[in-house]
Amino acid sequence: MATFKDFRNNVKPNWCPGCGDFSIQAAIQRAAANVGVIPEELAVVSGIGCSGRISGYINSYGLHGIHGRSLPIAQGVKMANRELTVIASGGDGDGFAIGMGHTIHAIRRNIDVTYIVMDNQIYGLTKGQTSPRSEMGFKTKSTPAGSIESSLSVMEMALTAGGSFVAQSFSSDLKELTSLIEQGINHKGFSLINVFSPCVTFNKVNTYDWFKENLTSLSTIEDYDPHNRMQAMNTLMEHDGLVTGLIYQNKEKPSYESLVTGFKDEALSSQDISLNQEQFDKLAAEFM
C-alpha cells in the first residue's frame, strides 16, 4: 500500500515561499495514498500557470498541457484507461477564462475525473493581472484604476450546469482539503474542487488573513444538507460564494462512462484493437 512519501519525486517546486499551492500538492499526495491508489494508478494533468507545474511535482503519470486544456486531456486519459485515477488541475485563469468552455461541459458531461482549481483571483505567472475571479474594483497592473468587471461565481455556475460533486476549500486547511479530494476521487462522476490558494507575491488583497476573516465553513451552518441543491445555491448566494466544505453531491447522477454503449471495463490500453483482414475490408468498403 502506497504512502504519502511514495508520491514524492526529486523535483523541487519553484513556487514562491508561502504560496498556497504547496498545501494543495501535499493534499493531493495524502489523499491519493489514503484512498489506496499507487503512483502507477494515478494520472495528474495540468494546464498553464503557476499551478500548472504541479503535474511535474508528483510521482505519478503526469502531463503538462496547454493553457485551458487540462480537462479535455484528462477526460481523454480517463476514457482510454478507466482503471486510472485521473486528477486535472489548474488555476482560476486556466479553468475559468480560456478553459471555461471545457470546464462547463466537463461538469455537465460527468466523466469520472477530479478537477482541482487553485484559485488565487489573479494571474500570478504573468506577474499580476486580473482573472475572472477578481472582484470589481480590484487594482492590478492591467487595471490600475480598478477592474470594471464583476467576479465570476463559479460554484453557482457549477450547480446550474448540473455538477454532481461541487466543493470548495482553503489551502491552509490541509485536513479538510485532503478529505474533500478523497471524496472527490471516490465520487463516481466529475468532481469540481475549487481551492482558495493565496498568491503571496501579487495579490495583496485576498491574503491568508483575508480568507480567515471572510470564509464560512459549511460545518458551522445548522442542518446544512449537501444533497439539497436548492439549499446549496441559496447558501452560496447568502455568503457570496465564500464557503468551504462539500457544497453539493448527487450520487444518483450516472457517470458519462456508464452511459456509453459498449464501453468496456477493461482499459483500452489493455485491449486487442487489431483488425483482421475481413474486418479491415468491411471497414474500408464503407468508404469506397
Total structural domains within the chain: 1
SS3 195: strand
pLDDT by residue (tens digit) across 125-159? 889 899 999 999 999 988 999 999 999 999 999 99
Residue 125, pLDDT score: 86
pLDDT by residue (tens digit) across 241-260? 999 999 999 999 999 999 99
pLDDT by residue (tens digit) across 59-89? 999 999 998 899 999 999 999 999 999 999 9
Residue for grid cell 477530479: 114
Q: 121 lies in which domain range? A: 4-285
What percentage of the chain carries pLDDT values higher than 90? 88
pTM for the whole structure: 0.94
Per-residue confidence band for 262, with pLDDT thresholds at 50, 70 and 90: confident
Q: Is 145 left (phi over 0), alpha (psi -120 to 50) or beta?
A: alpha
**Is pLDDT above 80 for 269?**
no
CATH number of the domain residue 94 falls in: 3.40.50.970
Kindly report the number of other CB atoms within 10 A of residue 109's CB atom: 18
